[in-house]
Chain A
């Protein structure tokens, strides 16, 4: 097995709101190996973005609190770094792209100004060098006439082009790890295919590891080697993509796969889609025991009181359910 680039151990994050304190992430564990793509999959509110933001320590101060856990990156616990040390990691070692490129780019600065900012922060360059480096970066993300683009503002670009700029910015300092938070959700399906291909090519070229956050199992199949499925702040199931999608051990994973109509589904014989009953619980009203039990078709008495702990299956898979492997 390849080297572990990032090791998240028992990460627990809580938020304090006027309605009280609730837990957004309840002690999750995962490892990101060098050069691989790991996808965090789940629905809104399952804690996937909060987990990612914790890695870069970008959670809103005041309301969010990392209750416990360790995030080990190259021998250091990121959670115990001071803000100066953290700033050296952010953007240089680990960088991030976000869902909506329009709200993440500064509308009143040119692309050149925004791109060179990262470069100037982390490298010993002068302004001119930074700008020519920026143009190179824009070329790398396959934008046409990069020199000209440096003088343009975000509103002059389309959504797909903006996302390319975001990617260029994130890759400016050749990070070891790229966190991509729903990088294609705001984009049309044709543009999505282009961006996924670009990410994959850049990953191959640079050898970086990628943590991909998404709700779309289709996107996962396209580019992720491993998957971790999350539900209501818990890790549900982890494993290599194909093995996990072919034989899920957790009812939630199975439900997610089945509820999706995909080309090739036997329409004539399957009149209805397989649905998961109910809806995702509010973070402040999570059920006792296994948080999925009210929606689960295989619920047993113990699921209502006893929270399942993650257990190993084969060598490379984990899942958190009281059912035996192969029971569903």
Chain B
């Protein structure tokens, strides 16, 4: 690891403290993100997959310092984001942007599209040719400049997500985190948005962190994939490798559970029972052992660590040792 890499996340943790409910009960602290580490190279796309509650979105927000992490470091282009003063962090935010899942709730319904897109420039005190830039942005995401004079409710979900993307790329970021950018969209529109993000990646040399629960799109879109379970990365590798030779039973189950159009595929081999455990009360040992069909005695007692099973392919499972 070196500090000059593009993005280097080390042992990132985000705990939510215990709270007292109105009945006087205290909840356990929730370890939403429990020590994750990964790197990202310039121009690379990393997918983060996992079920809801696995900590994907929390990890993204902690990484961007939108929710300050509990501990750990994030090095981005030589800066340690976790110790950066507010003012410097703010100016560095031009470089790192986020696209949210639901464009209808992440774009202010009372503002014109044009104003929404002008805001990033205003925040960073960039005053030159803003109207020109806004027009250009709209064209870049496949909308017309007329859309600047419309309100969000006049646009379809797909069009509005294009606005969300335009807002994210307005200041020429080098890192864009996309948090489930297509899961709220209609099926026929999802492909359009994925294609758009792919074109922008080529054109603007953006590095993406792509959060999704859709294994199909992740395989297609990402160079590398990290699989998260209960706040931890249980497997990380190139997407080719993960889809060809998944190392962790959880990854394999996720892949098997994707309903394919091929009838031969259908019946899954690895059957997973039950739900993801409550993150405020995680199981001892390997956090997946409660659902794992292949678990052994040691899985209940000890926690497996991420180990390299082949070059660049890390798996946290005793069965792989």
Contacts and interface: CB of A to CB of B under 8 A. Distances in A.
A219 interface: yes
A218 B272 contact: no
Interface stretch (A49-57, A79-87, A171-179, A271-279): A271-279
Nearest to A242: B263
A259 to B, nearest CB: 4
Contact of A257 (B189, B213, B261): B261
A54 B3 CA distance: 62
B51 interface: yes
Contacts of B195: 272-273, 275
A206 interface: no
Contacts of B272: 190, 193-194
Contact of A216 (B192, B220, B259): B259
Contacts of B275: 158-161, 191
A263 B260 contact: yes
A149 interface: no
A268 B113 CA distance: 37
Identify the interface centre among A218, A263, A267, A295: most chain B CB within 10 Å of its CB. Answer: A263
A307 to B, nearest CB: 20
Nearest to A158: B275
A221 B187 contact: no
Contacts of A33: none
B102 to A, nearest CB: 13
A41 B186 CA distance: 12
B260 A264 contact: yes
B106 interface: no
A265 interface: yes
Given A188-B51, A263-B243, A256 B188 contact: yes
B204 interface: no
B28 interface: no
B186 A189 contact: no
Interface stretch (B39-47, B69-77, B170-178, B249-257): B249-257
A43 B268 contact: no
Nearest to B190: A259
A273 B261 contact: no
A155 interface: no
Given A272-B198, A273-B194, A273-B220, A192 B257 contact: yes
Contact of B156 (A193, A274, A280): A280
A194 B194 contact: no
A46 B228 CA distance: 35
A217 interface: yes
Contact of B261 (A193, A218, A255, A279): A218
Interface residues of A, number: 44
Given A189-B213, A218-B260, A221-B261, A259 B187 contact: yes
A189 B263 contact: no
Contacts of A190: 51, 253-254, 257, 272
A48 interface: no
A261 B219 contact: yes
A245 interface: yes
A262 B213 contact: no
A192 B215 CA distance: 14
Nearest to A281: B156
A193 B188 contact: no
B263 A221 contact: yes
B188 A263 contact: no
Interface residues of B, number: 41
Given A161-B275, A189-B257, A218-B260, A260 B51 contact: no
B258 A262 contact: yes
Interface in A18-47: 43-44
Contact of A188 (B213, B216, B243): B213
Contacts of B191: 259-261, 273-276
A262 B263 CA distance: 13
Contacts of B254: 189-190
Contacts of A295: 188
Interface string A265-304: 1010001111111011000000000000001000000000
Contacts of B258: 189, 218, 262-263
A188 B194 contact: no
A219 B272 CA distance: 18
A159 to B, nearest CB: 8
A129 interface: no
A193 B268 contact: yes
Interface in B263-294: 263, 265-266, 268, 272-273, 275-276
Nearest to A295: B188
B217 interface: yes
B298 interface: no
Contacts of A273: 191, 194-195, 220
A255 B187 CA distance: 10
A44 B186 CA distance: 7
A194 B268 CA distance: 10
Given A190-B272, A263-B216, A271-B198, 14 more contacts: A158-B276, A189-B51, A189-B254, A192-B257, A216-B187, A218-B261, A221-B266, A261-B217, A262-B216, A262-B258, A262-B262, A263-B255, A264-B262, A280-B186
18 contacts: A189-B51, A190-B272, A191-B51, A191-B275, A218-B258, A221-B260, A221-B261, A222-B259, A242-B263, A245-B261, A256-B187, A260-B187, A261-B194, A262-B260, A264-B262, A267-B220, A276-B188, A280-B188
Interface of B: 51-52, 156-159, 186-192, 194-195, 198, 213, 215-217, 219-220, 243, 253-263, 265-266, 268, 272-273, 275-276
Q: Which 4 A-B pairs have the closest CB atoms?
A: A218-B259, A259-B191, A273-B191, A188-B51
Interface of A: 43-44, 158-161, 188-194, 196, 215-219, 221-222, 242, 245, 255-257, 259-265, 267, 271-277, 279-280, 295
